[in-house]
Amino acid sequence: LEDGKFCWPAITDGVVRLSAAQLQALLEGLDWRRVHDARETRAPVAAS
């Protein structure tokens, strides 16, 4: 916002779809496009 630019999400069928994390980033003035869902990690398997 300080740069005079604001990237708004695309509107599809009259609806803007964002995750809760993306909305929070948008409201804080961050680039919401860089927010992704958390990756699932697996616990390491012990060697036998």
* Dihedrals phi, psi of 35, to nearest 5 degrees: -95, 125
pLDDT tens over the chain, length 48 residues: 667 777 777 888 988 888 888 888 888 888 878 887 667 888 888 876
* Structure confidence by residue, pLDDT tens digits, 17-30: 888 888 888 888 88
The pLDDT of residue 4: 74
Tell me if 17 sits within 8 A of 9, measured CB to CB: yes
Structure letter (DSSP) for residue 7: -
**pLDDT averaged over the chain?**
80
pTM of the model: 0.54
**Sequential DSSP letters for 9-45:** PPEETTEE---HHHHHHHHTTS-GGG--PPPP-PPPP
